[in-house]
Amino acid sequence: MSSPSNPPPAEGPPNRPLSALRRWLTSGAAFSSSTRDALLDALFDGAGDGLLVCNADGVVVSCNPVAARLLHVEAATVVGRPVSEFIHQGTTSRRAKLHNGPALARGEPSAAHRLLLHLTPFESSRGPQVVVRLRDGSEQAEVQERLRQMANYDSLTGLPNRALFRDRLSQAMARANRSGRAMALMFLDLDRFKVVNDDLGHEIGDRLLQHVTRALTECLRGGDSLSRDTDMAHTLSRLGGDEFTVIVENIGTAEDAANVARRMLEALNEPFLVDEEEIVISASIGISMYPTDDVDLDTLIRHTDMAMYRSKSLGRGTYSFFSDDLTAAVTARVSLEGSLRRAIERQEFELHYQPKADLRTGQVTGVEALLRWHRPGHGLMPPDRFVSVLEDTGLILPVGAWVIRAACEQLAAWDRMGLPSMRLAVNLSARQFRHLYLASLIEDSLRQNEIDARRLEIELTESLLMEDNESTRAMLEGFRRMGVRLAIDDFGTGHSSLSYIQRFSIDTLKIDRSFVQSLPDDEEGAAICSAVIALGRSMRMCVVAEGVETPEQARLLRDLGCDEMQGYWLGRPMPGSEFAGWFVNHKKTRGRRRSRSRYTDTSPMTLFSLLDGS
Ligand code: C2E
Ligand code: CA
Ligand code: CA
């Protein structure tokens, strides 16, 4: 059966292209011998390898285009000539196994590059023949080399990668065991590399890593000639990101290892010039010694990692050795994590509230909710001891949600008691911003407790705003639309930048207490405070001084134009149940002191009344 749209194949294949041939083949036509010849021709010509067919005398019968290219000749000039003209006698290709083509038994191409030969004899209608397959040996070797590189080396820096590092480490450990000579393993992690990446872009970040690699390589190489131990050997690897490792073999003592670490830190101390950006970085290093720290490979790596984190927590830019008390610290941390997990269901968390007041009038403007944990057997734990663990483990999400709900409920309770309308400030971690439910959680808590959104203030850190990713921005804009106020906590300690203050229309700046604490005598502290206050004023933000502990500090801040204060002098954080009592007392003192303003009493309210001029 035939139809005009689907004609039966004509006898013999269409000439070319190959797609037509394929179509023709799949149409199910039976092969005639001429068809098969044509098919073979097409396969022969289209093959990716070089192919030559020779007869038993070694004369070339056919040559495909790839073979001609590999031999640097025209295909037509090869046919009819002895193959030995093109492929000289020489080293045998191991693959060449020839039974009936003696002239081809061994061969080396005349061309400069190495060719791999593979010979296959076959019986043709014209007698025994041989197919010679040619492959560019150098190309293959190159591919193999490239694959080896990719599997073992980091493409950005050319350093050994994690896989090769482990390999080298296990060899170094074996050598140390045999020779009895100590080896040091070091982990080096750049400090705040993420900030560089986020601020200046990944391209600059990558280039910085290349600069760092060069600096470290030079430093390690240069150190060899200086060191007494001339056979000290270093292997620098990059595990990924900004994590580097150094294996130092044949090291004398831990002091030698410390020397190497110090040299590396110094080498990174110089600012790097990347694309006209001067970048200043530092690094944290962890060191463990082997076989002194007698462990297996994975434990040695873990110990070194722990030592590196110790350096980070010591304030970065330094090195630390692994020691047994680090294991103890890690064990303690694991147990802390476990107790924190149970703390939620056991309702061991509590909120304390610390008041804020207007520096001119003494009027209480609001409270900040601060988390406390009644850890069984440990008493009341301050958040500095556990908030970072909550963040690392993700437990900050349920705990943070509880904080918002509980604080809103407390505020509503005070409203019902008839306390004047105050603002409520809640601290949020960056981690909480990665969860979209945060906005709806806040909205629900406000609605359920009938609290106007403008009374809620969220305290954020500068680092969160610096992240400036899509979800953070969307969430902050959502808060703005709701009317929730935004405050920057610990202002001045982070990466202060005016652009984000403007972009997110921040309402409040909280001057970090480290600046306030140096007042009133420290001129630099005063200069910083007055700069922050001026900045706040110029952008119509409320400026709150944290950690005000003395009347002198309050007076100076007031004179500098600061709006509000918070600190032990006004009131310590206290349980919600005590706040109403504190408030009433505060108001009473304030009233009484106003009428006896001449007393040189230095309680907050006396000061206010004096400042009021009443
Ligand atoms: P922060 O937000 O800067 O909170 C102020 C801290 O300063 C509080 O410590 C407070 O007790 C303390 N402080 C207040 N006045 C004075 C003073 O006059 N002198 C001194 N020396 N210290 C004063 P606290 O409660 O230990 O909180 C520490 C940090 O923990 C907070 O710093 C905040 O970053 C974090 N935090 C507290 N509660 C929460 C929370 O619910 N969620 C999150 N994510 N973080 C929280
Ligand atoms: Ca705060
Ligand atoms: Ca603060």
CA–CA separation, 176 and 322 (whole Å): 18
Number of the ligand 1 atom closest to the C-alpha atom of 510: 3
Cβ–ligand 1 distance for 451 under 6 Å, the answer no
pLDDT for position 92? 37
258 or 327: whose pLDDT is higher? 258
Distance 579 CA to ligand 3 centre (A): 20
Is the CB of 11 inside a 6 Å radius of any atom of ligand 1?
A: no
Give the pLDDT of residue 85.
Answer: 84
Write down the pLDDT at residue 200.
87
pLDDT digits (tens, 9 = 90+) for 86-96: 886 443 333 33
- Does the pLDDT value for residue 66 go beyond 50? yes
Element (H, E) at 410: helix 396-417
pLDDT at 111: 41
Residues with Cβ within 8 Å of 83's Cβ and at least 6 positions away in sequence, in order, are: 52, 54, 58, 59, 60, 103, 104, 107, 132
pLDDT band for position 428 (cuts 50, 70, 90): very high
Q: Using CA positions, which residue lies closest to atom 15 of ligand 1?
A: 567
Nearest bound ligand to the CA of residue 430: 1
Q: Using a 6 Å cutoff on CB, does residue 489 contact ligand 1?
A: yes
pLDDT for 550 beyond 80: yes
365 contact partners, CB below 8 Å, separation of at least 6: 356, 357, 358, 422, 423, 564
The rounded mean pLDDT for the chain is: 82
Return the residue whose CA atom lies nearest to atom 10 of ligand 1: 573
> Is pLDDT above 80 for 330?
no
Distance of CA 370 from the midpoint of ligand 1 (Å): 6
Provide the residue ranges of all domains of the chain, joining segments of one domain with +. Answer: 13-140, 153-323, 337-612
Q: Poorest-confidence range of 4-8, 114-118, 208-212, 606-610?
A: 4-8
Provide the CATH topology of domain 13-140.
Answer: Beta-Lactamase (3.30.450)
Q: For ligand 1, say whether the CB of 424 is within 6 Å of any of its atoms.
A: no
Most confident of 220-229, 263-272, 492-501: 263-272
pLDDT value of position 185: 96
For residue 246, name the pLDDT band (cuts at 50, 70, 90): very high
Please give the Cα distance from 418 to 403 (Å, whole number): 23
100: pLDDT strictly greater than 90: no
Q: Which amino acid is at 493?
A: T
pLDDT (tens digit, 9 = 90+) per residue, 158-175? 999 999 999 999 999 999
Lowest mean pLDDT, pick from 73-77, 142-146, 407-411, 488-492: 142-146
Task: Answer yes or no: same fold for 13-140 and 153-323.
Answer: no
Strand partners, 358: 564
In the CATH scheme, what architecture does the domain 337-612 have?
A: Alpha-Beta Barrel (3.20)
- Tens digits of per-residue pLDDT, 203-225? 999 999 999 999 999 999 875 54
The answer to whether residues 266 and 213 touch, using CB atoms and an 8 Å cutoff, is no
Residue with tokens 């005590």: 578
Q: Which fold has domain 153-323?
A: Alpha-Beta Plaits (3.30.70)
In angstroms, what is the span from residue 487 Cα to ligand 1's centroid?
14
Q: What is the mean pLDDT of residues 299-327?
A: 87
Which pLDDT score, from 0 to 100, does residue 300 have? 93
Which of 427, 445, 461, 557 to mutate to test ligand 1, by most ligand atoms within 8 A of the CB atom? Answer: 427
The answer on pLDDT for 294 being more than 70 is: no
Could you tell me the sign of the dihedral formed by the alpha carbons of 510, 516, 517, 523, in that order?
positive
pTM above 0.75, yes or no: no
Q: Is the shortest distance between the CB of 604 and ligand 1 below 6 Å?
A: no
Of residues 3 and 284, more confidently modeled: 284
The rounded Å distance from CA 245 to ligand 3 centre is 36
Q: What is the dihedral of CA 84, 86, 88, 93, to 10 degrees?
A: -100
Locate 140 and state its tokens: 């293959």
Residue 573 alpha carbon to ligand 1 centre in Å: 9
Atom 35 of ligand 1: nearest residue by CA position: 383
Neighbours of 208 (CB within 10 A): 22
pLDDT of 21 > 60? The answer is no
Cα 546 to middle of ligand 3, angstroms: 6
Protein residue with its CA nearest to atom 8 in ligand 1: 370
* Tens digit of each residue's pLDDT (9 = 90 or more) over 505-534: 899 999 999 999 999 998 888 998 999 999
Q: Ligand 1 in contact with 536 (CB < 6 A)?
A: no
Whether 120 shows a pLDDT value over 90: the answer reads no
pLDDT digits (tens, 9 = 90+) for 494-508: 666 777 787 788 999
